[in-house]
Structure 1
Amino acid sequence: MKILIENHIVKIANIEIGGQNPIVAQSMTNTNTLDTQASVNQIIELVNAGSKIVRLTCRSIKEAENLKNIKELLIKNEIRIPLVADTHFSPAVAEAAAVYADKVRINPGNYIDKRRQKSKFTEEEHKEELIKIRGKLGRLIEICEENSTAVRIGVNHGSLSERMLFRYGNTARGMYESAMEFIKIFRELNFHNLVISLKASYVPTMMEANKLLHDEMHKKGFYYPIHLGVTEAGDGEEARVKSAAGIGSLLAEGIGDTIRVSLTENPIEEIPFADKLIEIYGKRQTLPMPYYELNRTSKPQIILKYNSHDEEELLINSSVDFTRLNESGLYKKLKIITNGEPKNELSDIILQALGIKYSKAEFIACPSCGRTLFNIIDELKKVKQKTSHLKGLKIAVMGCIVNGIGEMADADYGYVGAGAGKVNLYKQKQIISKNINESLAVDELIKIIKENGDWKLETE
């Protein structure tokens, strides 16, 4: 028997998402939200680049309240675009932002649950936390209903609550359950103006979580729009491959209503690539599987052949095609041929993005935003320049506490913003050096890598 789906279309200011509405690209400012003019200038740049929704960080009630001034100045400039407040740790900030923002992003991992270094929770403790969450969400819902504000339940793989880690581990299932716990409460309180996102820096985990969310919502008889993104993807070709593999492959399966390509670059650069993914794969249906050849050896190799593709199309198509063909993880080798010429470097980047084979260091880096207190774009370039040759080593470059130790995933080393021009350095999740001046931090990182026996000369 076919289940009737309660399909929710969400209105965010002047845009509707979900259903058969167009899939839209969005981005995030990297300005100080208290700097009204700088924020407005960058929002206008993003609008001109094609962004349909813009998110701003809100660390404090003052930043949340300044959204009012930002919106007023945008209107004076005849710019009308949905603004999203990105909030963490504080229900009070989310509530303040909901008065002025068109949508508020909350993170179930830190909205109520606090890090208490607990590894076990009784059933009674679990129920007590749910009661607290319900109470706080009830107040947020009242404000959202009064102001026609939508909510994004935004789960990040690296910031699951300790309760979820205890029950499900740091898994795609844990991400799904974290979101569904909040969805259930919102539904019980009859609030449906919801968007859901499950983001991870590791592409297979991000895809598994979103497919689970998509399938389970259908089974339960309701559906809310899904926002897609591979978080901490980094910069350059590697970041675009990760985003294409994760976002593009899900769009090709008919999953996704809004997307963000997170780059540790100027946020303006995110939009053209996101629009290209939507143009190719945003058909709102499952697309046919691509043609491929198979080299049947002891280690089967997928061979993808293309003609008349420009570099961007080749990167996107090959990343998505191999990811879809290799959903089972059976294939460990890839060969890409375009106009008769092999593209070995691109093949290696795709294999590394999917965690199959590492040919150089792996970098996990968050996109810059208003929380970042040092120049993460330049710092990532410095770190990569000195350490890219360390094959298989995972290095996380993070801008702030929100994307700090938790979002470093299973990185071997962490380079995390600690304040204005200051960096904390980690070996896995153990802090080694605190408040290092950013001009000295890369050399200090190399010193720590050497002390732990992970350094190699480029010729080795």
Structure 2
Amino acid sequence: MNNNKFSNSLSKLSRLQTVNVKIGNISLGKDYPVRTQSMTNTKTSDTIQTVKQCIEIANAGADYVRITVPTIPEAENLKNIKSGLLKNNCNIPLIADIHFSPKAAEIAAKYIEKVRINPGNYIDKKISRNEYSEQEYNAELQKLEQKFTNLINICKQNNTALRIGVNHGSLSARIMLRYGDTPQGMVESAMEFLRICKKQNFNDVVISMKSSNVRVMIQAYRLLVNKMFTENMMFPLHLGVTEAGDGIDGRVKSAIGIGTLLNDGIGDTIRVSLTEPPQDEIPVAKAIVNYFEKKLTDKTKVDLPQKINFNFFEYNKNKTADIFGVGGKNKPVVIADLSDIKNLSYNDIPSTPNFADFIFTDKIIPENLFQNIKFICNYTVFNNQKNTFPYFTYNKILQSSKKSNKLNFAEITNENINQEFYKNIDKFKDCIFVLSSQKINSYLDKRAVFLKFFDKKIKNPVIVKQEYNENNLQDFIVKSAFDNGGLFIDGFGDGIFISNKNKTISKNDINKISFSILQAARVRISKTDYISCPSCGRTLFDLQTTTEKIKQVTSHLTGLKIGIMGCIVNGIGEMADADYGYVGEGKGKISLYKNKELIKR
């Protein structure tokens, strides 16, 4: 057994062979497409409105609908909601979302197709203590097994599936004391429940490992899969970045988190959690799934080093040389492609949230080279112009004499990386590589190059490049984040260079997306970071309006992290690394936090 295994293969995309789980009339697992879902934000006690919203989500194309069930009366009302849906000819499977109440879970399991429980608060309470003895720890596990087995038996009797839904922000005190607020703690929280499921011969189980921190989320899923390989089990996985936010940033975070794992073959069902109407999540989820299905058609294997010693379970920035402010300890740079603008003016240069670090103009040299703006041009028109640097293909740079004595860019692909390339590496001391790929699965192709460089200890900075031809902004967001974000999550890449042939997507939007990818991967912070939940029936205020108001007065606070939480369920946990938090505590009440400290109610 490979101790670092978390996918079938790093060289070829294929889905994990997870068990099939029947959820009402729509199954998931290795033999079925990746499923999509959203969650209602109505009060579960309001049958009419909840039924109406379930139908809206179903009509948007979702496979499942999740409903919050905070109390026993609302668990009992699920039978009325199910009945109301059937009367409207809607038989979409329902999922009850349970926190804190095992009894509500047991009731819900009798009425609907699937129950989600949170291991962090299903049995364990958030009690304040400094340690557990081994005897106390095991006693808690026995209590957990007894209570959880009751739910398993009810699920067996009613053909109800379960989701063990771990949240980074709500790990139990017992897990926190032993493992800390870590991906390892998330994994062990799930495994305790999965081992009970195996012991009880109950396999209708789905698992999730959600976090608002995309890096933590990806590491947790990979560690979980590694653990399941080790313990000879492979349950299907539900993917999602919780509290992703809205707009471009929410879509980028979700596409990086979900897309990176799908690129590993991990994932059987997904939810894109946006601070927007629930039905608006489904087109984004569908775009992610459709792009993944296209990648599955690529049956080619990418060339990899014979032995891979890279650690995919922790973040370590790959060490590169500092060449003229790129690489080394510098933040990843952004390159903007303005090569299709003939008479380039200062106003053409995208500046939101920041100016791009380099402007690519190809064979056009602007008449006025603007101060403090660095340009990249085709080597054929390079003549040592001020603040301008030449761009070569790999073959041309070996032959050309028109190089800069400061900085050169050379575009490479995986096909270029061979023994001849390694022999010539000393000729590239002042060169930044621009890594591109024409493969359907460009992510695996480019990751292979980084692994080769890591293996050979090649220190040249590398810019990640990808060109698209999209006429829809949402598709461009999804694809660019899906293809490139995971590379930065793993510590690769010293810059990003994405472009779009179709002019319907503005240069400024492409610039925003470039910076958003780097921010979501936590490698370059260029604006305020918002951790806002998607809203559900537990939400205690108008989350969308409140989020927008908070953004209007805080968007200038670059680098500040602000959490906006509809209720206390994930509350200060999910915004653990936020500088300030705004949390619903009761009807008409919110609490303000600085770090994890309550400062005002």
Q: TM-score, structure 1 length as denominator?
A: 0.89
Tell me whether 1:351 sits opposite 2:362 in the alignment.
no
Deviation at 1:215, TM superposition (A): 2.7
Tell me whether 1:19 sits opposite 2:19 in the alignment.
no
Q: Partner residue of 2:210?
A: 199
2:487 & 2:254 partners in 1: Cα distance?
A: 17
Tell me whether 1:142 sits opposite 2:295 in the alignment.
no
Deviation at 1:168, TM superposition (A): 1.4
Deviations 1:402-439 (A, max 9, x none): 021112121110000122232110011111111xxxxx
Deviations 1:235-281 (A, max 9, x none): 11100000000111211221100000000110010000101100011
Tell whether the 8 Å contact from 1:305 to 1:336 is kept in structure 2 after alignment: yes
Q: 1:178 aligns with which of 173, 176, 189?
A: 189
Tell whether the 8 Å contact from 1:157 to 1:198 is kept in structure 2 after alignment: yes
Residue type matched to 1:348 in 2? F
Residue type matched to 2:595 in 1? Q
Q: 1:209 aligns with which of 217, 220, 224?
A: 220
Deviation at 1:48, TM superposition (A): 0.5
The SS at the match of 2:479 is helix
Q: Partner residue of 1:367?
A: 534
Tell whether the 8 Å contact from 2:108 to 2:115 is kept in structure 1 after alignment: yes
Q: Partner residue of 1:313?
A: 475
Q: TM-score, structure 2 length as denominator?
A: 0.69
Tell whether the 8 Å contact from 2:259 to 2:483 is kept in structure 1 after alignment: no
Tell me whether 1:126 sits opposite 2:137 in the alignment.
yes
Q: Partner residue of 2:442?
A: 289
Deviation at 1:325, TM superposition (A): 3.0
2:75 & 2:515 partners in 1: Cα distance?
A: 43
Residue type matched to 1:49 in 2? A
Residue type matched to 1:289 in 2? S
Q: Partner residue of 2:70?
A: 59
1:283 & 1:215 partners in 2: Cα distance?
A: 26
**Structure 1's 358 and 286: CA in aligned 2 closer, same or farther, altered over 3 A?**
farther
Larger radius of gyration: 2
Between 252-261 and 313-322, report the one with greater CA deviation: 313-322
Residue type matched to 1:402 in 2? V
1:114 & 1:373 partners in 2: Cα distance?
A: 23
Q: 2:87 aligns with which of 51, 54, 76?
A: 76
Tell whether the 8 Å contact from 1:26 to 1:52 is kept in structure 2 after alignment: yes
Tell whether the 8 Å contact from 1:253 to 1:285 is kept in structure 2 after alignment: no
Residue type matched to 2:238 in 1? H
1:6 & 1:360 partners in 2: Cα distance?
A: 40
**Structure 1's 145 and 212: CA in aligned 2 closer, same or farther, altered over 3 A?**
same
Deviation at 1:211, TM superposition (A): 1.4
The SS at the match of 2:147 is helix
Between 307-316 and 231-240, report the one with greater CA deviation: 307-316
Q: How does 1:151-166 map to 2 (within 5 A)?
A: 151-166=162-177
Deviations 1:50-98 (A, max 9, x none): 1110010001110001000011111111110111110001111111111
Q: Partner residue of 1:455?
A: none
Q: Partner residue of 1:453?
A: none
Residue type matched to 2:484 in 1? F
Between 315-324 and 143-152, report the one with greater CA deviation: 315-324
1:358 & 1:94 partners in 2: Cα distance?
A: 41
**Structure 1's 387 and 25: CA in aligned 2 closer, same or farther, altered over 3 A?**
same
Q: How does 1:24-35 map to 2 (within 5 A)?
A: 24-35=35-46
Q: How does 1:265-276 map to 2 (within 5 A)?
A: 265-276=276-287
1:387 & 1:297 partners in 2: Cα distance?
A: 39
Deviation at 1:197, TM superposition (A): 0.5
Residue type matched to 2:287 in 1? K
Between 19-28 and 236-245, report the one with greater CA deviation: 19-28
Q: Partner residue of 2:466?
A: 304
Between 199-208 and 327-336, report the one with greater CA deviation: 327-336
The SS at the match of 1:391 is coil
Q: 2:572 aligns with which of 405, 414, 429?
A: 405
1:344 & 1:253 partners in 2: Cα distance?
A: 27
Tell whether the 8 Å contact from 1:6 to 1:221 is kept in structure 2 after alignment: no
Deviation at 1:306, TM superposition (A): 2.5
Q: Partner residue of 1:383?
A: 550
Deviation at 1:313, TM superposition (A): 2.2
Tell whether the 8 Å contact from 1:425 to 1:433 is kept in structure 2 after alignment: yes
1:326 & 1:309 partners in 2: Cα distance?
A: 26
**Structure 1's 90 and 283: CA in aligned 2 closer, same or farther, altered over 3 A?**
farther
Instruction: Compare relative contact order (CA 8 Å, sep 6+) and give the higher one, 1 or 2.
Output: 2
Tell me whether 1:424 sits opposite 2:591 in the alignment.
yes
Residue type matched to 1:176 in 2? V
**Superposition RMSD on alpha carbons, in Å?**
2.4
The SS at the match of 2:122 is coil
The SS at the match of 2:119 is coil
Tell whether the 8 Å contact from 1:87 to 1:105 is kept in structure 2 after alignment: yes
Tell me whether 1:433 sits opposite 2:595 in the alignment.
no
Identity, in percent, stands at 51
Tell me whether 1:336 sits opposite 2:336 in the alignment.
no
Unaligned runs of 5+ in 2: 9-15, 299-440, 451-457
**Structure 1's 143 and 327: CA in aligned 2 closer, same or farther, altered over 3 A?**
same
Q: Partner residue of 2:333?
A: none
Q: Partner residue of 2:235?
A: 224
**Structure 1's 330 and 119: CA in aligned 2 closer, same or farther, altered over 3 A?**
farther
Deviation at 1:310, TM superposition (A): 3.1
Q: Partner residue of 2:115?
A: 104
Deviation at 1:308, TM superposition (A): 4.3
Tell whether the 8 Å contact from 2:236 to 2:267 is kept in structure 1 after alignment: yes
Q: 1:255 aligns with which of 256, 261, 266?
A: 266
Tell me whether 1:47 sits opposite 2:209 in the alignment.
no
Number of residue pairs the alignment of both structures matches: 433
Q: 1:234 aligns with which of 230, 245, 268?
A: 245
Residue type matched to 2:101 in 1? S
Q: Partner residue of 1:324?
A: 486
Tell whether the 8 Å contact from 1:251 to 1:284 is kept in structure 2 after alignment: no
Tell whether the 8 Å contact from 1:153 to 1:194 is kept in structure 2 after alignment: yes
Q: Partner residue of 2:561?
A: 394
Tell whether the 8 Å contact from 1:360 to 1:391 is kept in structure 2 after alignment: yes
Q: Partner residue of 2:257?
A: 246
Between 211-220 and 273-282, report the one with greater CA deviation: 211-220
